Amino acid sequence: MDSKKAFITGAGGFIGTNLIKYLISKDYHVTAMGSGKIEPDELKPMGAGTWIDGPVTLHNLKQLSLQPDYIFHCAGSGSVGYSIENPYADFQSNASSLVELLEYVRIHSPGSKVVYLSSGAVYGGNSKIPMSENDIPMPVSPYGHHKLIGERICKSYSQQFQIKTISVRLFSIYGEGLKKQLLWDACRKISSGNYEFYGTGKEIRDWLHVDDAVRLLELAVKNADINSPVVNAGTGFKITIREILEEIFEYLNKTGQPEFLQKSRAGDPAQFLADVTTANRLGWSPEIDVSEGLKRYVSWFSREELNQK
């Protein structure tokens, strides 16, 4: 049986690189497009068929003449803070690039199924937890608004042009190799003796390991259709920021307690928990619980720290 052909945009990012490795392990032929964070020689051992360095534009896509079975649109910024500081650039990254991709699919590869990486940030100020795909989106940051716009662009192309799409609302994705966001910052601060953190510590989060996330992305793209469904990508398990930090203290063998500044950063929701019923119905469930995932992350961080000395 011929291997399936997959095309990944944003392949130089954290999720993109992990997705490449996973799909190659499942015998996909992968074409990867990214910003050049990974050298082509680094991808060869991973088995990627082609690496393209460049932005997602209709012009660039036309040069590739691809007709993949599945497209994973991982391109886009992943930072609420960045979107507040650079709203125009965030829109270009998260919404405009998607239009370029879907227009290419419409004209040149209408048989491709497309998965769009959205975010739980679309729920924003919706205080109901767990958050269901049927809940009314209430984004509170440019990032959340732009991801929601992306979902609606997918629905537009699905309804008007019968392009099969699906949007996956990612919650808090983490894993070994991620050098940004809360876990990376917390490990660095705690290791250096700085125990101060934004918020109250009571904020609720839903942490999904990247290994579980890429499994869901593969399953989701196979379920893309002209109704442009949406699926949450979380665990359905809630944990507070305080509990996360206390576990990091333990795994780093540090004494002390986190000190919370009692003020939040713009765009940070108080509660963030996924209803994963839809993902479960697709036949998916997370395999890595948050304590095991945090332990693996801190172990990786400790090795990285030793290598820097």
Give 244-278 pLDDT, tens digit per residue.
999 999 999 999 899 999 988 876 778 889 999 99
Residue intervals in the chain for CATH 3.40.50.720 = 5-173+208-233
Looking at residue 177, its pLDDT comes to 94
With 0-12 / 13-18 / 19 or more C-beta atoms within 10 angstroms meaning exposed / middle / buried, residue 245 is buried
Stated pTM of the model: 0.92
Looking at residue 305, its pLDDT comes to 80
The CATH number of 5-173+208-233, from 3.40.50.720, 3.40.50.12780, 1.10.10.10, 3.40.50.2300, is 3.40.50.720
Tens of pLDDT, residues 9-60: 999 899 999 999 999 889 999 998 987 655 555 555 555 567 777 889 999 9
Round the average pLDDT of the chain to a whole number and report it.
Answer: 91
Looking at residue 39, its pLDDT comes to 57
Instruction: Report the share of the chain in percent with pLDDT over 90.
Output: 75
Question: How many other C-beta atoms can be found within 10 angstroms of the C-beta atom of residue 162?
Answer: 11
> Residue 279's pLDDT band (boundaries 50, 70, 90)?
very high
* Architecture in CATH of 181-204+237-307: Alpha-Beta Complex (3.90)
> Residue 169's pLDDT band (boundaries 50, 70, 90)?
very high
Residue intervals in the chain for CATH 3.90.25.10 = 181-204+237-307
Q: Is the pLDDT of residue 89 over 80?
A: yes
